[in-house]
Structure formats: C-alpha cells, structure tokens
Amino acid sequence: MSLTFAHINIERHRHLARIEPFLRERAPDVVCMQEVFESDIPFFREVLDAECFFVPMTLYPWQEGTTPEGVALFSRTGFLSTAFHQLGGWEGELTTYLDGTPVEKNETQRYVLATADIEHEGAVYRFGTTHFPVTDKGEMNEIQEGVLKKFLETTDLFTECVISGDFNAPRGREVFSRISEKFIDNVPLQYGSSIDGSLHRAGPIPFMVDGLFSRGGYAVRDVEMVCGVSDHCALVAQVEKV
C-alpha cells in the first residue's frame, strides 16, 4: 500500500500559520523540507506526529543571534538509518549566513543531501532531500555546477530512491535536465512554476525549480502542486514500492 508524501520549502519561520493546517489536513507519512529552523523542529514533530532527521546548512541570523537552518526529513514510522552527504559550499564549522548576493549566499552555507531509510508496511523506502545553490536568473554558475556533479556522483550509488528538493534550477535548463537523465521527473508538465507569486518576495517567477525524482522500484502517483502555503508551492504524492 502506498504512503503519502509531501515536499515543501517552508521559507524558515515566515509561513508556519499557513503550513500547519496544510500538514494537519494532508497528514503525510513522509515529508521533505528545506529552509527549516532547528528551533521549529519540535513544532513540526508535534504537528506531524513524526520523527525528524535534520541536517543544518548554515547559521541564520535570528532574534539577535543565529539559529541552525537546513533540510529535514520527517517520518511517522521513524528511521531505519540516516545519512548526509556534503555536496559543496562552506566546509568546516557552520558559519553565519549572508542574505546578499548569490555569491555571498553560496559562500556562507554548505550544500547537502540528506537521506533516510524508512519502513512502511513491511517495505523499506529510501528518501532524500536537498537544497541547491541559488543563481542569477536561474542560470547555472560554477558553484551550482560543482554541487550538481557531486549530487549525481553520490546518487549514482543508489539503485532505488525518491529525492525531492529545491534545486534553484528551472526545469528545461541544464541542471534540471541532467538530473532528469538519471531519474524519473514525477512533477506533471502542466505545472510551469513552483514559485507562489503571491508569497514570494520577488513576485511571480516562471520557473519550476522544485523537483520530485525517483529511480528503481517506486511508483510515484497522483502528484499535485499545492500553493498558498509558502513562497514555494508544496508537492504531494502517493509513493509505493512495486
């Protein structure tokens, strides 16, 4: 039997009042999130009744200090195993994020792929999530190309997986296309943008930058994009081992 999956870039602390009813209504079994504050994890664990695997990417300035911010996987059935893989960016101890130019953003955070093996009704599923570097107008730069190379090298070791992320790369251009050569792109082509123009600080952007990819023995069905929850639209789907 399939499990319910959701993916969403939550834009840190800004949309919790929108995200909470969405998560309670959908009640997903597995959720992949980006731009998560570590301090908000107890809130999401309670809302989802789930365990969390969190991998910080940077220290985000917040309330006269900083808080770790990164990617997270939530699972209602816990985890059999977890791992993270560094894809590029800042190395060593976390540093304070600079919300300035794309170069400043990219040089003050590390880029990671977080993965987890999860058991659901006797079957083992592997999920992963990532958040790629931002670029100017969605054009690939040197940092993003390096992260893509490491991402593809790392995931080549996985015979089966479902990976979602904010790839900061428009579908149809090089980064998204190179990933699609290795994986099944499960987001219906009818969706032309995953940016919610009513909530994103830059307004409408005609880029599908959020991806839901799979490889191996997974059926990903009933994929739907849901807007009105964050500056990025959420993706929801049914995932089943076949």
pLDDT band at 136 (very low <50, low <70, confident <90, very high): confident
> Is 185:195 a contact under the CB 8 Å cutoff?
no
Could you count the other beta carbons within 10 Å of the beta carbon of residue 85?
A: 18
pLDDT (average), residues 51-76? 96
Confidence of residue 203 (pLDDT cuts 50, 70, 90): confident
Q: Over 90: is that where the pLDDT of 66 sits? A: yes
Span 145-178, pLDDT tens digits = 999 999 999 999 999 999 999 999 999 999 999 9
Percent of the chain with pLDDT over 90: 88
The whole-angstrom separation of Cα 24 and Cα 40 is 16
Q: What percent of the chain has pLDDT over 70?
A: 100
> For the chain, what is the mean pLDDT?
96
Identify the pLDDT of residue 37: 98
- In order of their start, the domains of the chain are 3-241 (3.60.10.10)
C-alpha to C-alpha distances, 175 to 99, 127, 148, 190, 235, nearest whole angstrom? 23, 20, 7, 20, 20
Q: What pLDDT score was predicted for residue 104?
A: 86
Per-residue pLDDT band at 106 (split at 50, 70, 90): confident
Q: Give residue 100's pLDDT.
A: 83
